[in-house]
Amino acid sequence: MAVYTEIDDDQLTGLLAQYNLGSVLSCKGIAEGVENSNFMLATEKGTYFLTLYEKRVKPDDLPYFIGLMEHLAAKGLACPTPIHDREGNTLREVAGRPCAIISFLNGVWPRRPNAKHCHVVGTAMAELHIAGQDFEMQRRNALSIDGWRPLLDASAERADSVCAGLRDALEQEFDLLWKGWPKTPGRASDSPLPHGVIHADMFPDNVLFVGETLSGVIDFYFACNDYFAYDLAIALNAWCFEPDGAFNVTKGKALIAGYESRRRLTDDEIRMLPLFARGAALRFLLTRLYDWLNQVPGAMVKPKDPLEYWQKLKFHRQVRGPAAYGIER
């Protein structure tokens, strides 16, 4: 929960003067979101979301994120669309930060996702993968396997302070994944695995529902080009475990069935799913571990528990094949 940068009245009025949105009626900092400063902005024209991009987002990546949202929204996906200013820009600056005004989406994220939610999310993910196929820009996944080694190095020494034996387990896990992981997909890659634009962070708090209908997928600030099945593996981790740490195969089946209702997984993708599930668990374990070990005194964000993902990784380590996730072929 976070608002890192305050905007004063003159700055806000100055910013809005660049848009055709009328004058400001209300602007409230939002507690959700840990990377950027977010405001719910009401103007004479409607309600919007104002995001100020903070240090963890590279300014060079912003045109990709903003362009992708615009691309996907134009294709009819339920996702925020950037608002253009009078000169056509979708990115501006306020209070010394890059910023964007995007459309506001109704909906509440599901605190206790059920199998129905999982099916709907799988469907939306496949639609996103398909809609992204003709998006022209490229962004390497900075948090794929190439990015894990430096994270692991930064945390290894203190990993056992979080959980005894964690360091050795992480090293072993990384080595195993390193051997089996497919080459990073590029534009001209000859990888047999389908790849393209992935969301890479499709957690429950990034998917909004009105009742049981999906009303929006939000937060594209980890989106990148990578393997589709890896994105699905991230979602299996994020949606299909129970609070007690057990994998719920009914939810797994629902997620995958939702996905396959729009895009059928190839045999290669199915074969890779268990490895990708381990990789996805390791990726979130490593970033959470890093944040846990490097808490800033007085920070306004509570770090998430890395051990939740250690639990999940342990589940994936004992999986003997794709059937464990609910795939029946």
Which tokens in the block code for residue 253?
């089946």
> Which secondary-structure segment (H or E) carries 113?
none
Q: Which one of 14, 32, 146, 163 is in contact with a copy of itself (CB under 8 A)?
A: 32
Smallest distance from the beta carbon of 28 to a copy of itself, in angstroms? 5
**Toward a copy of itself, which CB reaches closer, 2 or 238?**
2
77-116 footprint of a copy of itself as x/- string (CB under 8 A): ---------------------------xxxxx-xxx----
**Toward a copy of itself, which CB reaches closer, 58 or 302?**
302
Q: Which one of 30, 176, 177, 293 is in contact with a copy of itself (CB under 8 A)?
A: 30
Q: How far apart are CA 279 and CA 144, in angstroms?
A: 8
**Toward a copy of itself, which CB reaches closer, 188 or 296?**
296
136-165 footprint of a copy of itself as x/- string (CB under 8 A): ------------------------------
DSSP string, 191-255: -SS-EEEE-S---GGGEEEETTEEEEE---TT-EEEEHHHHHHHHHHHHSB-TTS-B-HHHHHHH
Which tokens in the block code for residue 21?
């949105």
- Per CB under 8 A, the segment of 125-133, 150-158, 230-238, 292-300 that binds a copy of itself is 292-300
Of the candidates 243, 7, 228, which has an alpha carbon nearest to the alpha carbon of residue 111?
Answer: 243
Of the candidates 35, 34, 78, which has an alpha carbon nearest to the alpha carbon of residue 56?
Answer: 35
- Per CB under 8 A, the segment of 24-32, 222-230, 239-247, 277-285 that binds a copy of itself is 24-32
- Dihedral pair phi/psi, residue 271, rounded to 5°: -60, -40
CB 217 within 8 A of CB 68: no
Does residue 243 bind a copy of itself (CB under 8 A)? no
Contact footprint for a copy of itself (CB under 8 A):
1-3, 6-10, 12, 23-32, 40, 42, 104-108, 110-112, 208, 210-211, 295, 297-298, 300-302
